[in-house]
Structure 1
Amino acid sequence: MAGPGILRLYLVSALALSSCSLSLASDQRNADRVVRLPGQPESPSVSQFSGYVTVNERHGRALFYWFFEAQTTPEEKPLLLWLNGGPGCSSIGYGAVSELGPLTVVRQGAALKFNEYAWNKEANLLFLESPVGVGFSYTNTSSDLDSLNDDFVAEDAYSFLVNWLERFPEYKNREFYISGESYAGHYVPQLAELVYERNQNKKGKSYIDLKGFIVGNPITNDYFDSRGLAEYAWSHAVVSDEVYKSIKKYCDFKNSNWSNDCSATMDIVYSQYQEIDIYNIYAPKCLLNQTSASSAVQAFFENGQDQFRRRIRMFSGYDPCYSSYAEDYFNRKDVQRALHANVSGLVPGKWRACSDPILNSYNFSVFSVLPIYSKLIKGGLRVWLYSGDADGRVPVIGSRYCVEALGLPIKTQWQPWYLDKQVAGRFVEYHGMSMVTVRGAGHLVPLNKPAESLTLINTFLRGEQLPTQR
Structure 2
Amino acid sequence: MAMSKMKLLITSILLIAVYTAATTEAAPPRGHHHIGVEEEADRIISLPGQPAVSFQQFSGYVTVNHLAGRALFYWLTESPHLPLSKPLVIWLNGGPGCSSVAYGASEEIGPFRINRTSSGLYLNKFSWNNEANLLFLETPAGVGYSYSNHSSDLFDTGDRRTAKDSLQFIIRWMNRFPRYRNREVYLTGESYAGHYVPQLARAIMHYNARSKQKINLKGFMVGNAVTDNYYDNIGTVTYWWSHAMISDRTYHQLINTCDFRRQKTSNECESLYSYAMDQEFGNIDQYNIYAPPCNKSDGSSGATHKTIRLPHRPHGMFRQLSGYDPCTEKYAEIYYNRPDVQKALHANTTGIPYKWTACSEQLNRNWNDTDVSILPIYRELIAAGLRIWVFSGDVDSVVPVTATRYALEQLKLTTKTPWYPWYVKKQVGGWTEVYEGLTFATVRGAGHEVPLFKPRESLQLFRSFLRGEPLPKS
Task: Using structure 2 for the length normalisation, give the TM-score.
Answer: 0.89
Q: CA separation of 1:38/1:340 partners in 2, compared to 1, >3 Å: closer, same or farther?
A: same
Residue aligned with 1:298, SS: coil
The answer to whether the 8 A contact 1:108-1:324 is kept is no
Partner of 2:212: 203
Pair 1:454-2:459 in alignment: yes
Q: CA separation of 1:466/1:306 partners in 2, compared to 1, >3 Å: closer, same or farther?
A: closer
The one of 220, 239, 245 equivalent to 1:213 is 220
Partner of 2:115: 106
Query: How many angstroms does 1:57 deviate by?
Result: 1.1
Instruction: Look at both structures and tell me which one has the larger radius of gyration over its CA atoms.
Output: 2
Partner of 1:356: 361
Pair 1:321-2:327 in alignment: yes
Pair 1:414-2:422 in alignment: no
Q: CA separation of 1:334/1:449 partners in 2, compared to 1, >3 Å: closer, same or farther?
A: same
Q: Distance in 2 between matches of 1:132 and 1:106?
A: 28
Q: Distance in 2 between matches of 1:386 and 1:454?
A: 13
The one of 239, 250, 259 equivalent to 1:252 is 259
Partner of 1:334: 340
The one of 38, 43, 51 equivalent to 1:41 is 51
Q: CA separation of 1:314/1:298 partners in 2, compared to 1, >3 Å: closer, same or farther?
A: closer
The answer to whether the 8 A contact 2:226-2:232 is kept is yes
Partner of 1:6: none
Mapping 1:116-265, distance limit 5 Å: 116-204=125-213, 207-265=214-272
Mapping 1:387-466, distance limit 5 Å: 387-466=392-471
Give a deviation string over 1:105-126, Cα, whole Å, max 9, x none.
1113111011100001111100
Partner of 1:375: 380
The answer to whether the 8 A contact 1:233-1:269 is kept is no
Q: Distance in 2 between matches of 1:59 and 1:256?
A: 29
The answer to whether the 8 A contact 1:314-1:448 is kept is no
The answer to whether the 8 A contact 2:263-2:311 is kept is no
- Over the aligned positions, Cα root-mean-square deviation in angstroms equals 1.7
For 2:283, give the aligned amino acid.
Answer: E
Residue aligned with 2:392, SS: strand
Give a deviation string over 1:9-47, Cα, whole Å, max 9, x none.
xxxxxxxxxxxxxxxx921110100011100012x3331
Query: How many angstroms does 1:228 deviate by?
Result: 1.0
Identify the range of structure 1 (427-436 vs 137-146) with the bigger mean alpha-carbon deviation. Answer: 137-146
Query: How many angstroms does 1:385 deviate by?
Result: 0.4
The one of 33, 42, 46 equivalent to 1:32 is 42
For 1:398, give the aligned amino acid.
Answer: A
Q: How many residues align?
A: 435
Identify the range of structure 1 (376-385 vs 363-372) with the bigger mean alpha-carbon deviation. Answer: 363-372
Q: Distance in 1 between matches of 2:308 and 2:259?
A: 18
For 1:367, give the aligned amino acid.
Answer: V
For 2:284, give the aligned amino acid.
Answer: I
Partner of 1:16: none
Give a deviation string over 1:194-228, Cα, whole Å, max 9, x none.
00111111122xx1000001000000101011111
Query: How many angstroms does 1:371 deviate by?
Result: 0.3
For 1:76, give the aligned amino acid.
Answer: S
The answer to whether the 8 A contact 1:279-1:313 is kept is no
Q: Distance in 2 between matches of 1:274 and 1:363?
A: 32
Task: Using structure 1 for the length normalisation, give the TM-score.
Answer: 0.90
The answer to whether the 8 A contact 1:136-1:341 is kept is yes
Identity %: 50
Identify the range of structure 1 (124-133 vs 237-246) with the bigger mean alpha-carbon deviation. Answer: 237-246
Q: Distance in 1 between matches of 2:296 and 2:98?
A: 20
Query: How many angstroms does 1:274 deviate by?
Result: 5.0
Q: Distance in 1 between matches of 2:311 and 2:435?
A: 32
**Which ranges of 4 or more aligned residues in structure 1 deviate by more than 4 Å?**
311-316
What 5-or-longer segments of structure 2 have no aligned partner? 1-34
Query: How many angstroms does 1:309 deviate by?
Result: 2.2
Give a deviation string over 1:328-372, Cα, whole Å, max 9, x none.
101111111111111231x12211011111111111331111100
